[in-house]
Structure 1
Amino acid sequence: MRLTLDDDRLLPTDPGERAVARTIYGAVRDLALICPHGHVDPQLLLDDAPFPDPASLLIAPDHYVTRLLHASGVSLDALGVGEGQLSEDAARHAWRLLCEHWAVFRGTPVRYWLEAELVDIFGVDTAPSADTADAIFDRLAESLADPAFRPRALYERFGISVLATTDDPCSDLSEHRALADDPTWHGRVIPTFRPDAYLEPADPGWVDAVGRLAAAGDVDTGDYAGYLQALEQRRRYFVEHGAVSADHSHPDARTDPLEPAEAARIYRDALAGRASVDEATAFRRHMLTEMARMSCDDGLVMTLHPGVRRNHHTPTFERYGADVGADIPLGMEFTDALRPLLQRFGTADGFHLVVFTVDETVWSRELAPLAGFYPSVYVGVPWWFLDAPDAMRRFRAAVTETAGFTRTSGFVDDTRAFCSIPARHDMARRVEAGNLARLVVEHRLTEDEAVDTAINLVSRQPKTVFKL
């Protein structure tokens, strides 16, 4: 079977809508990619070393790929997850497993992304299968030996204008500094402050994390005041190194504040190992509101990615670590959960709060109404399990009539899989073109307005929301 990409993929099937969607998509298809939230390792671009093999590039780092293969009976170690540098035999075996199980991706966005990567980046024109696996592997390996397929060359080829990474608050950000100082590098890679591990006293490693925080900030974190000072100092350090946002992901979005004396008491007890689980949870919820206060002070955009039960299968976590596909969404509540935070900061000048969810039942009931009132709140576009064509369409149908287009975040790719970035952005642009085309043929927008809206969602909106 030949592997081809139809020019009209994901566009509406109605001929009238499709014609309008083609025009809208044509206005945005080649615009620069703005990536304000993602997980690509900056060391990748600093080293600019050749990618070692097709499996290490396209399979092992992409939990969207590995989780469905795992569900189909393929072990994660056979796919190279947690295995480090793969031998050629191991890499080829992992690639064969992907091709042999190609049918499990039918109807999924993973299929769309992988096909786009194979065709648009590597020029593969043969559909993956057990019979074609080795030939495709050889084609990919040959390409990866070419300097045109090194990370920096692909960054330029993809048309990325800015790429945000996700970073530990104690990182010295040396990779970012080295990239910024490299006269041969002309891209823009910026860090993101991700303090989750430092806000969760119930986590086994929290005391050690607080110790690292003290060392990184050169601040005594023996009491609550010092702890806050250390966090504020590290945030300023990130701002000085180009950061524009702080990202938070916890099981819930509650932001109930504590009295300062109570927060200080729980902090002391947590350091001593005496805080209960309920107290630790109350402290973390309080600290989310403190993070909003700090964002008002230092200007970092506050993004929330809550509502996921991380590492649902403990044996998998213990064997392979986090972020390998064993995370499962939770039901969410935002209206009351965010009220304490928004009571204090919802109308504060310059404060931006971008709220993402993997529970689409809250899009129209809670998030759109919140963004439709509070000048600080933006609804994050479909994320993680929802960054798929049909979910993207449901998102616009649920959110637009209440919050419009300007109260949403603009697209984020949220990926560790470097080569999937252009495919993810292309999917979003095609789906948005179809959504806007429907409004045009229903005479709810003019075609000029639809084109301008599409350009705004791709270019101006993410720059505004993320202060880029």
Structure 2
Amino acid sequence: MKKPFLDQHFLLHTPTAQHLYHSVAKDLPIIDYHNHLSAQDIYHDIHYRSIADAWLSHDHYVWRAMRSNGIDERYITGDTSDFEKFEKWCETVPYLIGNPFYHWAHMELQRYFGINELICPENCHQIWQQCNEQISGDGFSARQLLERMNVESLCTTDDPLSDLRYHRHLAETDFKVKVLPTFRADDAFNIENNKKFVTWVAKLASLTDTRINNIEDLYRALEQRFKYFHQHGCRLSDLGLKTVPYTDATPDDANRAFKKALAGQPLSSLEVAQFKTQLFQYLGQKNHDLGWVMQIHIGVLQDANRRRFEQLGGATGFSAIDDTCIAQPLSKLLSSLDYQHSMPKTILYCLNPKDNYVLGAMIGAFQDSDCGPGKVQLGAAWWFNDQKDGILNQLQTLGNLGALGRFVGMLTDSRSFLSYPRHEYFRRILCNVIGEWVELGELPDDETLLERLISDICYHNAKRYFDL
């Protein structure tokens, strides 16, 4: 018997899965501990002018999909009208079968707008009109969208130079959703990008009213920013590693490399690795001292298309997956912290699915009781992996190699306020996996055990782990 598309039992193929989702997972609050939403937009409680503005303006996932359908760039990031862009999106969606966006887009129409129509050229005008009628009314501002999806707390991604004024202002309002910053130190780390790096260091010096002439000066300035972020509720950091650096290096080695960079001199690959190794140890130590969670995102081949990068800039949908080896340098980086008893709670994310088992095994080598259960986490399926197969891969890898019951669950990693059905998508897949294991006799049909497992992964583990 054929099942209807996107009905209440979507992705739930067994009675056990249906029970676990509808009775346990469905109504749990959302802790979205990694996203790229704007605290400024939340504070100002922005309203969108149209469904195209809400859906298409900031999401490079959408832009990539439209390019794959041969849509001209002016309908993607250009100056054509909202309706023209939406029309091209509706032309694209029918060709996205198998892409998670086919599911997400229809889920977002249902959950936010109550629209069950398929997205296609024939329905374009109807969907456009129905969505815009609702957007023009009450219930579709940034804060209202978050509250409607039962978001309890979210953590934005913020440069250490950010003044965090909007996080501070939000904390002074009666807005129910907790909005916290995350300390994202990529610009302090990427010394090989000499001009951008030196400019960033100069801004850091100005902001902290210090002179930065050596690496100790850099650490003292960063220390101020760590304290400032902590005072504003930050409890997480993040670091994007295109490749994993490690070399045996002394502080003097790193200092020489840092001074060369400040002088505008080119660095060798060894000098870059020396600086990054020492800075990583400093950042890890600070996370440990403050009781923060350190997130490490590994494996982006950033801005692979040079022409398009020069035309449109970064973060516009032209990155890819890198395939460099990570096991040995990552183990040495983590071991350098662990050896000094200064390794914080850590989440390891890999963009290349070949590395799931590498990280799944790696986290077991660094677990400890000093920070509670699940100290080191295999991060949720991320970016190119946050589709059904990628989520299954991550869950099965963690189940095979670690403690699935301690997993801190899903995140959106999104710039869109309409992206929260992705948590539902994950929860349905999780419940279906566990339900199938029960139906096959691979797990006991123990209601207490199963309900605790689902509620912990979807909500309680994250609340405890991040102390939210």
TM-score range normalised by the length of the shorter chain = over 0.9
Cα distance in 2, alignment partners of residues 445 and 218 from structure 1? 61
Summarize the alignment of residues 117-128 of structure 1 with structure 2, pairs less than 5 Å apart: 117-128=108-119
Aligned with residue 305 of structure 2, among 291, 310, 313: 313
Tell me what 1:224 maps to: 215
5+ residue gaps, structure 2: 368-374
Are positions 1:346 and 2:342 aligned together? no
CA contact (8 A) 2:183 2:234 kept: yes
Summarize the alignment of residues 71-220 of structure 1 with structure 2, pairs less than 5 Å apart: 71-79=68-76, 81=77, 90-182=81-173, 184-203=174-193, 204-220=195-211
CA contact (8 A) 1:221 1:227 kept: yes
CA offsets per residue over residues 262-281 of structure 1, 9 Å max, x none? 11111100100113241224
Are positions 1:389 and 2:380 aligned together? no
CA offsets per residue over residues 396-436 of structure 1, 9 Å max, x none? 22221220214533211111111011x10001000100111
Which amino acid in structure 1 is aligned with residue 465 of structure 2? V
State the secondary structure of the residue aligned to 1:99: helix
CA contact (8 A) 1:266 1:275 kept: no
State the secondary structure of the residue aligned to 2:121: coil
Aligned with residue 245 of structure 1, among 236, 246, 249: 236
Pairwise CA distance, 1:167: 0.7
Which amino acid in structure 1 is aligned with residue 10 of structure 2? R
CA contact (8 A) 2:253 2:275 kept: no
Summarize the alignment of residues 366-405 of structure 1 with structure 2, pairs less than 5 Å apart: 366-375=358-367, 376-405=375-404
Tell me what 2:356 maps to: 363
CA contact (8 A) 1:301 1:467 kept: no
Which amino acid in structure 2 is aligned with residue 322 of structure 1? G
State the secondary structure of the residue aligned to 1:453: helix
Cα distance in 2, alignment partners of residues 296 and 257 from structure 1? 22
State the secondary structure of the residue aligned to 2:286: helix
Which amino acid in structure 2 is aligned with residue 446 of structure 1? D
Cα distance in 2, alignment partners of residues 4 and 125 from structure 1? 10
Are positions 1:452 and 2:452 aligned together? yes
Pairwise CA distance, 1:225: 0.6
Pairwise CA distance, 1:136: 1.3
CA contact (8 A) 2:250 2:278 kept: no
Which amino acid in structure 2 is aligned with residue 64 of structure 1? Y
Cα distance in 1, alignment partners of residues 159 and 208 from structure 2? 13
Cα distance in 2, alignment partners of residues 271 and 205 from structure 1? 11
State the secondary structure of the residue aligned to 2:350: coil
Pairwise CA distance, 1:457: 0.3
Cα distance in 1, alignment partners of residues 313 and 268 from structure 2? 23
What root-mean-square deviation, in Å, do the aligned CA atoms of Structure 1 and Structure 2 show? 1.9
Are positions 1:11 and 2:12 aligned together? yes
Tell me what 1:337 maps to: 329
Identity of aligned residues (%): 26
Q: Which moved more, 1:435-444 or 1:237-246?
A: 435-444
CA contact (8 A) 1:50 1:147 kept: no
Pairwise CA distance, 1:340: 2.4
CA contact (8 A) 2:182 2:235 kept: yes
Are positions 1:269 and 2:267 aligned together? no
Pairwise CA distance, 1:369: 1.8
Tell me what 1:15 maps to: none
Are positions 1:38 and 2:31 aligned together? no
Which amino acid in structure 1 is aligned with residue 413 of structure 2? D
Q: Which moved more, 1:334-343 or 1:62-71?
A: 334-343
CA contact (8 A) 1:38 1:166 kept: yes
Seen in structure 2, the aligned counterparts of structure 1 residues 426 and 137 have a Cα distance that, compared at 3 Å, is: same
Q: Which moved more, 1:372-381 or 1:63-72?
A: 372-381
Which amino acid in structure 2 is aligned with residue 354 of structure 1? I
Pairwise CA distance, 1:328: 0.2
Tell me what 1:20 maps to: 16
Pairwise CA distance, 1:256: 3.4
Q: Size of the alignment, in residue pairs? A: 452
CA offsets per residue over residues 335-355 of structure 1, 9 Å max, x none? 312222322333737711100
State the secondary structure of the residue aligned to 2:444: coil
Tell me what 2:430 maps to: 432
Tell me what 1:304 maps to: 296
CA offsets per residue over residues 155-207 of structure 1, 9 Å max, x none? 1111000011011110100111111112x422210001111012111113110
Cα distance in 2, alignment partners of residues 301 and 9 from structure 1? 34
Cα distance in 1, alignment partners of residues 393 and 362 from structure 2? 18
Pairwise CA distance, 1:134: 1.9
Cα distance in 1, alignment partners of residues 392 and 430 from structure 2? 8
State the secondary structure of the residue aligned to 1:206: helix
CA offsets per residue over residues 362-382 of structure 1, 9 Å max, x none? 222x21222223224211011
Pairwise CA distance, 1:445: 3.5
Cα distance in 2, alignment partners of residues 77 and 416 from structure 1? 21
Which amino acid in structure 2 is aligned with residue 22 of structure 1? Q
State the secondary structure of the residue aligned to 2:237: strand
Which amino acid in structure 2 is aligned with residue 135 of structure 1? Q
Tell me what 1:67 maps to: 64
CA contact (8 A) 1:250 1:307 kept: yes
